[in-house]
Amino acid sequence: MSTPPKGKLALPELLEMKRRGQKIVMVTAYDSPGARFAEDAGVDIILVGDTAAMVVLGHQGTTVPVTMDEMLFLTRTVVRAVRHPIVVGDMPFGSFQVSDEKALENAIRFVKEAGADAIKLEGAGPMVSRVRAIVEAGIPVMGHVGLTPQSATMLGGFKTQGKTADAAAQLVEGALALEDAGAFAVVLEAVPAPVAAEVTSRLTVPTIGIGAGPETDGQVLVYHDLLGLTEGHLPRFVKRYASLSREIRDALEHYAEEVRDGTFPGDEHTYGMEDAELEAFRSSISPTATSASDQTNDAATSASKSLSPTPVSEPPLRKTSSP
């Protein structure tokens, strides 16, 4: 008997996991296959991160250009694919900085139009009132402090944050303010491990680390980074669990080679037909191009004319996957 699919992970369960010392697993995903793989692997939270700008949409070294409409589109595809993990939509740059009202409007779009369970937004300080406004409207918010890529230019690049005593103290204050505003969890990105441990012990809500050492309540990695789909330089905190870009390149090269040398498609990928039908088909089109290789070009031309155009109502020979 197959086990029934698990229902949605309840948000308060994350608090219980923190209390029990059970690590929370979060990963990013941007499409249905990725989301399904994550759910099947037992991931607790899927973040539809604005890293989509770089890993999906091809922007170089910045998350800033991704738009609300693009994030909603990606979030919808993830939401459609999963039942159990909490799906968090990441608010893109420009969607929440202007005012509490604008932030709330856009957070509502994530829930209403994309079906997200929660949203995440970057920063503390002035962003704390955004978090409060969104939570007060009934939408769960995940905070994000430390390296906040949307403000990378202000922060001097993609650099570790909270490395001085003052900066570390500010980071702790920021995380506490986010919790006070109602955030259900806080991402700590690229901060020294002792600072992340301190924040984790002071907060009641879980911390989710990325480049924040082992003592946060959970971990998050970007899907493309951990699977080896990202090529080029990776931050120190990324661990690659597979080398999929190599595998994909090899597979595509192999395919191209086989198309060019005629190895693909083989008999096993090819549809035939009954001999009698084939015979009837051949004699129904006269003169034939296939059986009259000795005929003139004129005859071949007229045969090809008699075969085309293909009736528009004819069903396609194959859909996207094999029958």
- The length of the chain is 323
CB closer to ligand KIV, 47 vs 197: 47
H or E segment to which residue 303 belongs: helix 297-307
Task: Verify binding: residue 74, ligand KIV, rule CB under 6 A.
Answer: no
* Rounded Cα distance, 164 and 161, in Å: 8
d(CA 248, CA 260): 18
Choices 47-55, 240-248, 249-257, 275-283 (CB under 6 A): range interacting with ligand KIV: 47-55
Contact call for residue 50 and ligand KIV (CB under 6 A): yes
Site for ligand KIV in 171-200 (CB under 6 A): 187, 189
* Continuous H helices in 82-190: 100-112, 128-136, 165-180
Q: Which of the ranges 45-53, 257-265, 275-283, 288-296 carries the binding residues for ligand KIV, by CB under 6 A?
A: 45-53
Q: Does 51 bind ligand KIV (CB under 6 A)?
A: yes
Nearer to ligand KIV, 177 or 222 (CB): 222
The three-state secondary structure class of 142 is: strand
What's the closest the beta carbon of residue 63 comes to ligand KIV, in angstroms?
Answer: 6
- Tell me the one-letter amino acid at 242: A
End-to-end Cα separation, the chain, in angstroms: 26
Q: Report the half-sphere exposure of 168 (CA within 13 A, side-chain side).
A: 14
Question: Site map for ligand KIV, 222-251, x if CB under 6 A?
Answer: x-----------------------------
Residue 258 annotated in active site: no
Q: Nearest to ligand KIV by Cβ — which residue?
A: 49
Rounded to whole angstroms, the Cα distance separating 178 from 131 reads 7
Residues that bind ligand KIV (CB under 6 A): 28, 47, 49-51, 90, 187, 189, 210, 220, 222
Catalytic residues: 189
